Amino acid sequence: MKHPSSRLVVLLGLTFVAGFDSIAPAAVQPDRPNILVIVSDDQGYADLGFQGCRDIPTPHLDRLAASGIRFSNGYVTHPFCSPSRAGLLTGRYQQRFGHEQNPFFDPNDHREGLPTTEKLLPEFLRDAGYVTGWIGKWHLGAAPEFWPQHRGFTETFGFLGGGHHYLNWKTNAAQEYNLPIERNGRPVAVTNHLTLAFGDEGAAFVRRHQTEPWFLYLAFNAPHTPAEPTPDRLAQFKSIADPKRRKYAAQVSLLDDAVGGVLAALRESGQDRRTLVFFFSDNGGPIMTNGWNGSSNLPLRGGKGEVYEGGIRVPFVMSWPGKLPAACGSDMTVSTLDVFPTALALAGVPLPTNRPPDGVNLLPYLTGAVTNAPNPQLFWRMGGGRQLAIRAGDSKLVRLRSQPDALFDLAGDLGETQDLAGRRTNEVRRLGAGLDGWNKTLVPPAFPGLAGHAANPKNSKQLVEP
C-alpha cells in the first residue's frame, strides 16, 4: 500500500486546519483539547489492517487511522517495554536518567523504577488544570514513590507490573502476573477479559469528563503474552493454522474492540473533534523462537530487543478530526518523544528548561508552519551500549558490540539486508561520530533491572520474559 508523502499531508493539512494558529495559546482558551494516548504492547509492525494485515481484522483501529495521519516512519525510543514507556512519559531519551532496563518487580526496591527526579507529562498537565488518567499496564516501578497516582495521575486503574494474566487469575500481590487490579490504589474485582475491562474503563473515563480538559494514557498489555483470548474470540480465527498466531490474532482482535469502545465514547459524547489521539505499540513484536507471541514485523528486520527496525519502528497514528487531515500517510520521521512537547503545546504549558525534551511539537510540521524535518536524527541505545543505532535522514548506522558498524539505506532497503559500510566510509564516520557524541551525554543504567536479578535463585519465580 502506497501512502502520500509528508508534503501532501502538509498541503491537505492547511485546508483542514485553517485558523489552527489560534490554538497555540491554549492557556487562554476555555476549551482546551483533550489528549488520548493509546499504547499496545508487543504488537507486530504488520499486524493491523492499515498496515496491510490480511488475517487479523482490526476495523476500529483502521477507522482511527483513516480519520488521521498514518506515519510510515514512526519510532519508539527503545526496543522493549519499560524504557520505551519512560521515554514516552518524559519526552527525553530514557538513558539520560538511567532507565535502560525493565525494572525488577519488588515493592521494597527504591531503585527499580522511573527516577523521581523526572517530572512526567501528567504532572505538567495536572498542574495546568487537566484531569489525568492512567489505565492498563504501568511497569515503571513497584515501590510506592513510583506509583502512577504519585506521578501526576489523578485517576488510575490497572496493574503495576510488566505483564498480567487476562482471564481467571488468582490475585497474589507477590506475583507479578497475578497482581491485583487497582482503581485509585484500591484492589477491585475484574470479571471480564482484562483487555475489554481496560477498554470499558477508558470509555467510562471519556464519558465522565465531558466538560473539562483531560489527558488519558491508555496503556494496554495486549497482545503481550500470556496468550489468553476468550474462547469465542479464539474460535473466530480457527482458519489460522499456527496455534500461536491464532491466539495472538484473537488477542489483537479483542484489543481492537476495546479501542473501538473508547473511540465510540468520544464520538457519542461529542468530544472527538476536540481530542487529539495517538496510537502506537511500545516496541516491535518479539520474533525469537522461544519468545515469539505470534506477531509479524514484516518487512522489517528483527524484533523486540533489537535496534534493527523490527524492534523500534512501530505502527503510529495521530488523529484529530477537523484539525488534522484524514486518510493521509506521511513519511515524516516521528518519535514517541514528540508526544510530550506536542501535548504541552496544546495545553499551553511552556516546555521545561531544566530538563528540555528531546522530541518536538509535531503540530507546526503537520500544518505547514514549519517545513523542515521534525527529527533529522534519532538515536537508540540498549544494555548500556551493547546495541546502539542512529538514523539521520534515510541512513541508519547500527553498532553491535564486538562487530563492525553496519550502514543501511532505509529508503531502498527497509529490511536492512544490504550493509553499505564498506562503500560509504565517510558516512559511517560521520554517523559514528554523531552516535558517539550523543552517547557521551547519557548516564549508565540506574538500576540492574530484570536481567540483573536473573542470577539470584530466590528471584526465579518473579522473573518473566521482558
Active site members: 81, 139
Report the relative pairing of strands 34-40 and 214-219 from DSSP bridges.
Answer: parallel
* Integer angstrom CA distances of residue 371 from 8, 67, 366: 12, 23, 9
* Integer angstrom CA distances of residue 361 from 11, 292, 313, 348: 18, 35, 19, 12
Closest of 357, 445, 366, 435 to residue 396, by C-alpha: 435
Query: Would you state the cell numbers that stand for residue 285, as one nine-digit string?
Result: 513484536
Contact between residue 294 and residue 227 where contact means Cβ atoms under 8 Å apart: yes
The one-letter code for the residue type at 359 is G
Closest of 74, 24, 105 to residue 375, by C-alpha: 74
Residue 41 is classified by DSSP as S
The one-letter code for the residue type at 289 is T
In angstroms, rounded to a whole number, what is the distance separating the alpha carbons of residues 59 and 51? 12
In angstroms, rounded to a whole number, what is the distance separating the alpha carbons of residues 41 and 62? 18
Q: How many residues does the chain have?
A: 466
